[in-house]
Amino acid sequence: VADPIKMRRIVKTGAIVVADHATQAEWYQQAAAAEGVMVDILVDCDVGDHRTGAGSTEQVLEIAQTIGRSPNLRLRGLQAYSVLGSHAGGRPERERVSREVFERAAAIRDAMSRGGFSTEILTGGSTGTWEIDTLVPALTELQAGSYVFMDMAYRREGLDFKPALTVLATVVSANHQAFVTVDGGFKAFSTDRGYGPEASHLISGEPLAGTKYRWGGDEFGYVDLESTGHKLKLGDRIEFIPPHCDPTANLYDRIYACRGEHVEAVWPLKRQIL
């Protein structure tokens, strides 16, 4: 976050914030002072992604010093998150990326420690590397998010958490033997992964193994049935596992939390928290 107005909102929440530049730490100090609060803060380190993060140990120490001089900030440690590791493609590759990430992170942590700075938190990792990173002694917090919902991307990585998030679509045309048309297309599922969703099962629970989804446009998709033995009819309701959970959830205003056939709760989604 690099907007003083947003920072004033964040510091009021009690969340731990991150900074990858001394100026950002100064802005957090100003926001915290203006709101009259103490804020826990981590130094965000670039451990290989080059997305965010301080690029060198020297920069990390400079940020730590700035935080040390800030009366409303409390330095708690460092963030070493790598999105590259989460979907690196197969466990050996994920292990390789993770090893490099935490070698870098441990070296930075040791330098912070030698400088007299707090390193009680070293946070990083993801759903994709949970089995690997939880064995890393340096890690104090795993940043797993997607495991709550799961999605096809992580299933393709071989993770076996049960999918909890599905998108319900309806068969709106069933005039062909080989396929049916459903009312779920680009507007219903994330499109960033290059592949469509998986038709998992009918709302009755009957699995739809072997079927294949094809994009059919903004509002439509096809479910290919050929040689699967499945027969779908007009009005059938299908639960789809989305390609990628985060940008799919972002398309909706609410989630229906179901147990069996019963809707137990309706959770509103706040898409613009900041």
Ligand X SMILES: Cc1ncc(COP(=O)(O)O)c(C=O)c1O
**Cβ proximity to ligand X, 57 vs 143, nearer residue:** 143
CA–CA distance, 143 with 249 (Å, rounded to integer): 19
Residues interacting with ligand X, by CB under 6 A? 81, 86, 126-128, 143-146
Cα of 205 vs its chain's centroid, Å: 27
Bridge partners of 214?
A: 222
**Cβ proximity to ligand X, 65 vs 140, nearer residue:** 140
How far apart are CB 123 and ligand X at their closest, in Å? 8
**Cβ proximity to ligand X, 161 vs 195, nearer residue:** 161
How far apart are CB 245 and ligand X at their closest, in Å? 8
How far apart are CB 246 and ligand X at their closest, in Å? 6
* Alpha helices for the chain (secondary structure H): 4-11, 22-35, 57-68, 83-86, 91-114, 130-133, 152-156, 245-249
How far apart are CB 144 and ligand X at their closest, in Å? 5
Bridge partners of 44?
A: 79
How far apart are CB 149 and ligand X at their closest, in Å? 9
**Cβ proximity to ligand X, 112 vs 150, nearer residue:** 150
**Cβ proximity to ligand X, 124 vs 221, nearer residue:** 124
How far apart are CB 242 and ligand X at their closest, in Å? 13
CA–CA distance, 13 with 25 (Å, rounded to integer): 17
Bridge partners of 17?
A: 41
**Cβ proximity to ligand X, 118 vs 143, nearer residue:** 143
> What tokens were used for 247?
């940008």
**Cβ proximity to ligand X, 72 vs 126, nearer residue:** 126
Question: 238 Cβ partners below 8 Å, 6+ apart?
Answer: 168, 169, 170, 171, 182, 199, 200, 201, 202, 203, 208, 223, 232
How far apart are CB 173 and ligand X at their closest, in Å? 35
Length of the chain, in residues: 274
How are strands ordered across the β-sheet holding 121-124? Answer: 17-19, 39-44, 73-80, 121-124, 141-142
Is 67 within 8 Å of 73 (Cβ atoms)?
A: yes
